[in-house]
Every structure is written in structure tokens, then in C-alpha cells.
């Protein structure tokens, strides 16, 4: 049985952006619809609320959800004017928000036992022609080769991080997960570090 309590405390301590925010968030903003900020946006796995806050500042109607109670507590305190709720993607999130124009889920799916359930639930709440932007650590041939050459796999797959990364995606496996779940027009954009050793991949796709 899935123990959702694993995600109740992620370790958020303040409202400050993480290192990942610095290279991922600009690409997310770039991929969002232009000249139409009157859209309903859901940030799944919003953490301390920083991304949701930045998107709300651009004019979007943003809701942030996270299973991490410490993250939501910080978000509700520090980023007033944005709706934040404790919610698990393993549950029916349509009870929190529905008919969404854009869903963003950044550096979340690699932590999940059931990544397909996240994608299904997102598909259910998106409007027709709605957009999903999903980011996750990048894995490709050259990066994997570099990890092997420099003997970094033990560090990469550390077992000492409770609630850490348990799924590892390539563009091929991510595209397959999204396409079998009904998404179309799947594209990838890579960010962080140098080409082919990128830190993360940013995927954008659409519900028909």
C-alpha cells in the first residue's frame, strides 16, 4: 500500500528559490501562452510556492498544490493572493481545481511511485487543448556515459535521500508515457549546465 505520509514533510524551510528554480523557471515562462495571461494555471508539486507566485505576478490565475505540509505552510504565509492547498496527486485533484488551461509540474514526477497516475489526473482536469509543462532531471546517452566514466552512479542514485528520486526519464520514455496517456504535440527543451550534460528537460505537450 502506498504510504502518502512519505510526502507530508519534504523539508522546506523558507520561501527562497532553489537552484533548480534559477534555470528551469525562465524556460517555463518562455513556453507559456503569450498575450493571454487570463488563464487558469495549476502548479502541481508547488513546494514553497515560489513558481506559483512568479506566475501569478505575470497575471495568471494560479493555484498551487503539494503533499508537503511544510511547503504549503510557507507558501500560504509568504505568498498571499495565491491559492495554495495540501493535496496529493494520487487523489482526485478535480475536487481542488478543474477545467484548467495550463498545468505545470516541475521536478516532481521523478519522486513518484506511480508517475502514470499523475499524468492521468492531469489529463482529467485539463481543458481541451490545454497545455502541460513537465520538468524532470535529464538523462541521455552522453550524460549517462559521463556518470559511468567518472563513477558517479552511486552518488546519482543515492539511497540516503528520503523521498528522493526513484524514477529516471529519458526523452523517449517521457514521450511514451505522455503519448499513451493521450497527450499530443510533445516537445522537449533542455536547461542547466552545458549541452548534452543538461540538468533538466522541460517537456511541453497538449491535451487534444
Q: Which three-class secondary structure string do you get for the chain?
A: CCCHHHHCCCCCCCCCCCHHHHHHHHHHHHHCCCCCCCCEEEEECCCCCHHHHHHHHCCCEEEEEECCHHHHHHHHHHCCCCEEEECCCCCCHHHCCCCEEEEEEECCHHHCCCHHHHHHHHHHHEEEEEEEEEEEECCCHHHHHHHHHCCCHHHHCCCCCCCCCCCCCCHHHHHHHHHHCCCEEEEEEEECCCCCCCCEEEEEEECC
The CATH number of residue 99's host domain is 3.40.50.150
pLDDT (average), residues 12-32: 91
If pLDDT is split at 50, 70 and 90, which confidence band does 43 have?
very high
**pLDDT on residue 2:** 46
Give 17's pLDDT tier (boundaries 50, 70, 90): confident
Does residue 135 have a pLDDT over 60?
yes
24-33, 96-105, 157-166, 195-204, range with the lowest pLDDT: 157-166
| pLDDT tens, residue by residue, 171-205 | 999 999 999 999 999 999 999 999 999 999 999 99
pLDDT at 9: 55
- The structure's pTM equals 0.91
Task: Give per-residue pLDDT as tens, 77-115.
Answer: 999 889 999 998 888 899 899 999 999 999 999 999 999
Domain count, the chain: 1
Range of the domain at 200: 4-206
User: According to the model, what pLDDT value does residue 90 have?
Assistant: 84
pLDDT in the model for residue 41: 97
Amino acid at each position: 500500500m502506498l504510504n502518502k505520509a512519505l510526502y507530508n514533510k519534504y523539508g522546506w524551510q523558507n520561501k527562497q528559490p532553489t537552484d533548480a528554480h534559477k534555470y528551469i523557471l525562465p524556460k517555463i515562462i518562455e513556453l507559456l501562452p503569450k498575450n493571454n495571461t487570463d488563464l487558469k494555471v495549476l502548479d502541481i508539486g508547488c513546494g514553497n510556492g515560489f513558481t506559483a507566485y512568479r506566475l501569478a505576478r505575470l497575471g495568471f490565475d494560479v493555484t498551487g498544490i503539494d503533499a508537503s505540509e511544510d511547503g504549503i505552510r510557507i507558501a500560504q504565509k509568504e505568498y498571499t493572493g495565491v491559492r495554495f492547498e495540501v493535496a496529493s496527486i494520487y487523489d482526485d485533484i478535480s475536487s481542488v481545481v478543474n477545467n484548467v488551461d495550463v498545468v505545470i509540474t516541475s521536478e516532481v514526477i521523478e519522486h513518484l511511485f506511480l508517475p502514470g497516475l499523475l499524468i492521468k489526473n492531469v489529463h482529467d482536469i485539463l481543458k481541451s487543448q490545454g497545455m502541460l509543462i513537465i520538468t524532470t532531471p535529464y538523462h541521455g546517452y552522453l550524460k549517462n556515459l559521463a556518470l559511468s566514466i567518472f563513477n558517479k552512479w552511486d552518488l546519482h542514485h543515492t539511497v540516503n535521500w528520503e523521498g528522493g528520486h526513484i524514477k529516471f526519464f529519458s526523452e523517449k520514455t517521457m514521450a511514451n508515457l505522455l503519448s499513451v496517456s493521450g497527450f499530443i504535440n510533445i516537445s522537449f527543451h533542455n536547461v542547466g549546465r552545458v549541452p548534452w550534460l543538461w540538468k533538466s528537460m522541460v517537456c511541453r505537450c497538449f491535451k487534444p
